[in-house]
Chains A and B, each alone.
Chain A
């Protein structure tokens, strides 16, 4: 599905990503863990084309490095940013409709399905996106990207700042997404959710991948956890 080889990215002169290698297979949930500032978010952004990536990014057999963000999105990669980027003056429904790309016909996700999965969003369908709670906004931003029917969805810290109950709901939603045959590349800080739902896990440190394996392997590897994850 997605293959990233020797990815480098810069913000100005700072060399943020220094040769990242990641693969995501069909129907796989893959998580990138690590402390703040090690380049996890930048990895997702560079795959979307901003900041401009150096290195090789292959999506469904096509090289996509050098394409513009909207072209990459149209090929089938969905991106949910950490800051959620809800359009505050648009209603919840309008926010969702913004996820649909022009000229798109058959889709796996529809408005009706979003309402069915999230009755609390339906209750606020005509409210401006800016008036939603943090948890509702997180649901909305994920559903908005799903409306564009991506084959791979990259989600940056969806559980940040949410109450435990909401974190559970997000975890369930991610598994529901995966069941429909959509691959997930997740950036997380909460180990619990990521360890439970991920098929494979990468740990990043200083702009590089420092560990790759399953949840069980990560749990068994105390030195990696102590050096790169625990505070």
Chain B
């Protein structure tokens, strides 16, 4: 039991930190521009595939550096020559643009790498058990993922809290128009943020790719969870996104490891017979089985009871 709790906690924090690498960019983009970037998870996927391709020739570490830079550059170009042109036609046009872009990226990835998972492996230098908890080994690669995510989180925090650019970005989260009226070039800062956000998502892709499955549907699987993180965390709040990432990471990991069900908790109270047969379908569902819908349940509850999110600074 203790073993499951410990491993689930570690895995949950790791999953949460990976979510935050992506959600941080998404929430800043959302707050500054008021548009959900549907293609954000696609940058994560591109990070994984670029990392895979580079690792075949130059090794994993080269991929870890080069793939995020490439994807970050691509994000900058997408913002400058795509999103900015579409911006003047309003939010719906922007939404459709990023929506379409996600499909384009997915199809391009399928054209180049196919639909099947690619063989993106943990580098040999990190392919050993880091430590043993009771009977189970905890892989070194997961420890590396966690440390990388924490290091990037610390660097991000430093830039946002201690630099002039960070100050302007923070201000633009609440009143982007006012930042422009005070003489700051919001367009250029937004382009930078978009590029950095894409790059961070790509970092997540490179370090998650070998541990999970690097496949053309990985963006589609992850994208909706990111939106949950952003909404639950609250618009305009990086700390909110951080909290929500950890929360969803932990909830999902613990839920998957739990065999509890309504029948297990209250089974003895209900007499056997027709009633039990009637409700049995719901009665016997385990928490592990409903784990995938828990984040969305959380989303619905937050929207009903606290529409501005856990730490949001604005309503819309």
Contacts and interface: CB of A to CB of B under 8 A. Distances in A.
Pairing of A with B: yes
Contacts of A177: none
Contact of B170 (A50, A90, A148): A90
Contacts, number: 64
A19 B117 CA distance: 64
Max chain B Cβ within 10 angstroms of own Cβ: one of A70, A74, A95, A130 = A70
Given A89-B170, A89-B313, A101 B184 contact: yes
A73 B182 contact: yes
Contacts of A151: none
Max chain B Cβ within 10 angstroms of own Cβ: one of A98, A99, A130 = A98
Interface stretch (A80-88, A182-190, A203-211, A220-228): A80-88
A69 B170 contact: no
Contacts of B164: 102
Contacts of A87: 170-171, 174-175, 178
A39 B164 CA distance: 36
Interface in A101-136: 101-102, 130
A68 to B, nearest CB: 7
Contacts of A70: 180-186
Contacts of B179: 98
A107 to B, nearest CB: 12
A145 interface: yes
A145 B179 CA distance: 11
A23 B186 CA distance: 29
A148 B183 CA distance: 8
Contact of A69 (B168, B175, B180, B237): B180
Nearest to B178: A85
Interface string B162-203: 001001101101110111111111110000000000000000
Interface residues on A, range: 20 to 34
A144 interface: yes
Contacts of B174: 87-89
Contacts of A145: 182
A88 B173 CA distance: 10
A3 to B, nearest CB: 21
Contacts of A94: 167, 170-171
Contacts of A88: 174, 313
Nearest to B179: A98
A89 B174 CA distance: 8
Contacts of A102: 164, 183-184
A142 interface: no
A1 B48 CA distance: 57
Contacts of A89: 170, 173-174, 236-237, 313
Contacts of B171: 87, 90, 94-95, 98
A6 to B, nearest CB: 24
A48 interface: yes
Contact of A74 (B168, B170, B183, B313): B183
Nearest to A99: B182
A90 B168 CA distance: 10
Nearest to A101: B183
A97 interface: yes
A79 interface: yes
Contacts of B177: 50, 69, 85
Max chain B Cβ within 10 angstroms of own Cβ: one of A50, A88, A101, A130 = A88
A73 B179 CA distance: 10
A101 B182 contact: yes
A73 B168 contact: no
A218 B171 CA distance: 41
Contacts of B185: 70
Contacts of B173: 89
Interface of B: 164, 167-168, 170-171, 173-175, 177-187, 236-237, 313
Given A87-B171, A90-B170, 9 more contacts: A48-B181, A68-B187, A69-B177, A70-B185, A73-B182, A73-B183, A88-B174, A145-B182, A148-B183
28 contacts: A48-B181, A50-B177, A68-B187, A69-B180, A69-B181, A70-B182, A70-B185, A73-B181, A73-B182, A73-B183, A85-B177, A85-B178, A87-B175, A88-B174, A89-B170, A89-B237, A90-B170, A95-B171, A98-B167, A98-B171, A98-B179, A98-B182, A98-B184, A101-B184, A102-B164, A144-B182, A148-B182, A148-B183
Interface of A: 48, 50, 68-70, 73-74, 79, 81, 85, 87-90, 94-95, 97-99, 101-102, 130, 144-145, 148
Please list the 5 inter-chain residue pairs (A to B) with the smallest Cβ-Cβ separation, ordered nearest first. Answer: A73-B183, A85-B178, A101-B183, A85-B175, A69-B180
